[in-house]
Structure 1
Amino acid sequence: MTTTEQTTTFPMARGACPFDPPPALRPLREHRPVSRVRLWNGTEAWLVTRHADVRAVLADPRLSADMRTPGYPLISPARAGRAGQDTPPFIVLDDPEHSRLRRMLISDFTMRSTESLRPMVTGIVDDLLDAMAAGPRPVDLVTAFALPLPSLVICRMLGVPYGDHEFFQAVSARMLTSASAPEEVAAASDELRAYLRGLVEAKVDDPTDDLLGRLVQRRVRAGELSVDEAVSTASLLLIAGHETTANQLALGTLVLLDHPEQAAELRDTSDPTVVVRAVEELLRLLTIVHNARARVATEDLEIGGVRIAAGEGVLASSESANRDPEAFADPDRLDIHRAERHHVAFGFGVHQCLGQPLARLELQVAYPALLRRFPDLRVTRDPDELDYRSDKVVYGVREVPVSWGSAGKGSRRSPDPVAHSAA
C-alpha cells in the first residue's frame, strides 16, 4: 500500500493542441496514477488516471455515484448547484434506485430500437446538408449541422417541440458552464424542469407515441414513476441527447480535416467496419466528457495500490484513460482502423451512458455524409484560433466556420455502408 502527499489543482489547463487532454495528466498517469488533487472550493479528492484503474473505479459498487453522499467531489461551482436537486437524475443515483429508473428506458435505447431510427437520422442529415449547400459561405458548422442534428433527433424521440430548441439549449448552456454560480445553475435547472413538467403533465391526459408519452402512460399512470422522476429523466435525456453528440461531431470533423488522407478514406469507403471504427476512434481520442467522473468511497478500499478511506472523493479521468499507452498503442495518434473498442468515452459499468447506441448511430451517419456532400470541405480559420469550450462540462468548440469549392457538388444520398451491414 502506498500514499502520496503531492497535491495538484483540478481541473487542469489544456495545452497547445485543442484535441489533447491537459498535458499535466501524462506525468501523473506515468508516475502517480492515483494522486491527490485540490478542487475549486479547497476540498481534495483522489484523481485516477490509468485505464485499468479508471475501469475498476467505475465498476466498483463501493464507490457511490450519488451526489448527495457526504464527501462526493464537486469539481465546479456548477456541479454544486446541481447537487442540490430534490430529484436527481438516475445517472447520479446508486442501485437500487438507479437500476429501477434505468430499466424503464432501456427498451428505447437497445441496438435494435436505435437502428430503427436510422432512416429518420439519415433524412435529418440530408436536409441539414441541403440547407448548408443552398446557403451562404462560409457557414458555422456548429449551428448549421452539428447542433441541430442531435437536437432534432432527441426532440422527436422524446416528444419535445423542436421549436423550443433555443430555450432549452440556452438553459442547458447555463447549467453546463463550470464557472456558473450554484444559484444560477439551480435557477436554470428549475426553468428547464418547469418547462418539461408542463409537457409531462399534458401527456398524462393526452397520450403521445414518443418516449416521454410512453413513459407517462406505462409508468406514471401505473404509479411506478413519479412526475418529478419523469421530469428529471426528461431533463437528463434532453441535455445529454444534444450537448454531447453536437460537440463530438464538430470536434471530430476538425480532427478529420486535420488528417485529410483518413478523412478521404472515411468519405469513400463502402466498408461498414471502417465507419464504425472511425467513430470509435474519434470518441476515444477526443473524450469530450473531459473533467472526470466523480465517485465517493462508501467503505475503505484500494485503487492501484493506494488506500482510499470511506468518505473520500474519487475522480476517474476518462480522457487520461483513453490516452493510456498500456491500453492503446500510440494513443495520441488518430487511426481510423484501430480495432480496440475498450475506450471509456461513454463511461464503464452500470452507469455508462444509456444513449450511447443513439450517439454512435448519429455519428456513423453524419461524418461520412458530411464528407461526401462536401468533399473539399475546409475550415476557413486556423483551428488554433477557434473558441474551445474548456469551461463546459462537455468539451467542444463554439464555432467552426467552413466553406467548400462548389455548391454541394458531392453525393446527396450516398449509400450508408453501416445501414447495409445492419440490414
Structure 2
Amino acid sequence: MRKWRRPARTVRLRFTVLYGAMFLLSGVGLLVITNLVGLGGTRTSRSAPSGTPPVEPATLAAANDRIAWLQTQLSDTHAAQSRQLLIGSAVALVVMGAVSVILGRVVAGRVLRPLRMITAATRRISADNLHERLAAQGPADEVKDLADTIDELLERLESSFAAQRRFVANASHELRTPLATMRASLDVALAKPEPVPQQTAALADRLRTELDQVDRLLEDFLVLARTQHGALADRTTLSLRRLVTVALGARAADITTKNLTVHSTDAVDDSAWAQGNRTLLTRMIDNIIDNAITHNQPGGWIRLATTTDGTTAQLVVETGGRVLDQEQVDRLAQPFQRLGADRTHSGNGSGLGLSIVTAIAAAHGGALDLRARPEGGLRVAVSLPLAAVPAEVPA
C-alpha cells in the first residue's frame, strides 16, 4: 500500500484554493439571500379578508374546514418546494464548486505559465551557456520585467566569466616569456668555460626544477581556461582503453620506481568509446593516471576498468591507501585542493589535476565522480557520452 503524500504547496495550488473558496463563499451568500427572500414571500395570512358578507352557520363551518384543508395543502406544497429548492441549491453549489476548482486551476496555470517558462529556461542556463537569454515575449507587465532583469543578470555574469577566462589565458601566456628568459639565463651561466662552483650548479638545478613546475602550472591554467571557454574543435572518436594504455606506457618508469602493481579488468573489452577533442581527452586521462601514481604509497596498487551501460562510457581508476574523509574528497575537484602531504608522500603537483579533469569531462557532456573507498583509498570515475565504435578501428 502506497503511503499518501501531501501535495506540494505551490503558487498554483494556492491560487486554485483561493479561487474555489471565493466562489463557494459568494455562492453560499447568494443561496442564503435567495432562500430568505423566498421564505418571506411565501408567508400567508390566515385572517379573513374584510368586507366578507355574513354566511349561515352551517355554511360557515364547512367553509372554515375547507379553508383549513386548503391552508394545510398550501403549507405542504410550500414546504416541498422549499426542500426541493434547498436540495437543488445544494447540488448546484457542489457542482459549481467543483467546476470553480477546475476553472481556478486552469486559470492559475495560464497565469503562472510565463513564470514556469522562465524557471525552466533559467535552470537550463549554466556557466557553459551563459550566452543564452530568456527573451520573454508579451506585454510589459511584472513577469516581463522579471525576465528582463534575469537577462541583464546573465549578461553581467557572461561578461564577468569571459573577463576571468581571458585574464587567466593572457596571464598564463604572458608569464611564459620571463620564464623562458630565466631558463635561458641559467643555461648560459652554466655553459661558461670556467668551472662552475658546486653550490651554484645545485642552485641552478633547483631553480630549473622550480621553473619547470611553474611552467606546468601555467600550462594547467591554459588548459583549464581553454576547456571552460566554450565549444570544442577537432572532435574525433577515441577509445578510452587505448588512451589508458598509452598513458600507462608513458609512465612505466614511474610505476616501476614506486613498485606499483597495475590491475586491468578490461583486457579484452574495448567498447568504451567517446567523442571529443583528442588533446583534451588525452590530458584528462593523463591527469587521472598521474593522480593514481603520484598520490599512491610505495608498493601499492592501481586498478583500472573501462565499462559501458548503453549510454555512457566510463573509466574507473581505484587506488589503495588509508581511509579518507568523503567531505575532503569532494573538494578535490576544485582548484588547488589537496588531501595533504601525508597521503601524497610527495610535494609535487599544482592542485589543478582533478579540476582540469572535471572541466574537460563537463565540456564533453560528462562528469567526474570521486569516492572514498570504505576499505581505504580513492575511486575516480569519469563518465562520458558513449560513441559508436568506428567501422574501421585504427591500430
TM-score by length of 2: 0.25
Q: Which has the higher helix share?
A: 2
TM-score by length of 1: 0.23
Rg: which structure is higher? Answer: 2
